[in-house]
């Protein structure tokens, strides 16, 4: 059973059938899709140097723009500690450079949330809650966060966190998945955002 099917429980079956296929990982099949991000916003300019550093860890990036080609790969795997994981590879094809935004997710059964390690090697950790809306969309929201420095992890005060909100749906008229990722801070506003659509290579 996929970690997303387990965390959502009965809610899983209220998602659009194509979202169920996407997050079900039946027969351990890797999900691959190609599309376009209609809008990418990079946030405050003074974060440029941090985001430039983050590109070395396949995390955030300073580029922004419209109609940026996009590719995503989600692969289910077993980690070195024996836990079930899902590896996320997201690549954005800007005109002069490609940028990656990778993550590794696993399930915390006791807390009933998804553990999300962002970057390679990881730079940030975020706890995620999953729910299905009345419209059959998937909604993901961040909770506690930590900065990761090698083997050490330090809590980030709520005032300085990057609050993540993800909404994903399936548009039958376009036969495509629609994604909107928004990262905000209560003091600084929007730190990073992208929204667009993509089509599965084989679903």
Can you point out the beta strands (E) in 42-137? 65-78, 84-93, 98-100, 103-108, 113-118, 124-132
Q: For 77-96, write each residue's pLDDT tens digit.
A: 998 888 999 999 999 999 99
Average pLDDT of 107-125?
Answer: 96
102 with 89: CB under 8 angstroms? yes
The percentage of residues in the chain with a pLDDT greater than 70, rounded to a whole number, is 100
The backbone torsions φ and ψ at residue 95, rounded to the nearest 5 degrees and listed phi first, read -60, -40
pLDDT band at 101 (very low <50, low <70, confident <90, very high): very high
Burial class (CB in 10 A: 0-12, 13-18, 19+), 45: exposed
pLDDT band at 161 (very low <50, low <70, confident <90, very high): very high
Dist CA 130 CA 3 (whole Å): 11
Predicted local distance difference test score (pLDDT) of residue 99: 98
Predicted local distance difference test score (pLDDT) of residue 130: 98
CATH assignment of 3-200, among 3.30.310, 2.60.40, 1.10.3210, 2.40.128: 2.40.128
Predicted local distance difference test score (pLDDT) of residue 27: 78
Domain ranges of the chain: 3-200
């Amino acid at each position: 059973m996929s970690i997303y099917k387990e965390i959502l429980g009965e809610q899983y079956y209220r998602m659009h059938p194509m979202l169920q296929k996407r997050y079900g990982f039946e027969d351990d099949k890797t999900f691959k899709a190609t599309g376009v991000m209609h809008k990418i916003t990079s946030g405050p300019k003074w974060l440029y140097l941090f985001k430039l550093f983050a590109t070395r860890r396949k995390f955030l990036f300073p580029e922004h723009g419209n109609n940026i080609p996009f590719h995503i790969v989600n692969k289910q795997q077993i980690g070195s500690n024996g836990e079930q994981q899902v590896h996320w590879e997201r690549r954005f094809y800007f005109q002069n450079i490609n940028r990656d935004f990778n993550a590794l997710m696993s399930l915390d059964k006791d807390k009933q949330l998804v553990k999300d390690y962002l970057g390679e090697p990881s730079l940030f950790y975020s706890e995620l809650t999953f729910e299905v809306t009345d419209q059959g969309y998937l909604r993901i929201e961040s909770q506690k966060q930590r900065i990761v420095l090698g083997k050490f992890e330090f809590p980030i005060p709520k005032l300085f966190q990057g609050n993540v909100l993800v909404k994903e749906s399936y548009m039958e008229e376009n036969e495509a998945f629609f994604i909107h990722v928004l990262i905000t801070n209560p003091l600084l506003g929007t730190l990073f955002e992208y929204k667009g659509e993509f089509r599965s290579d084989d679903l």
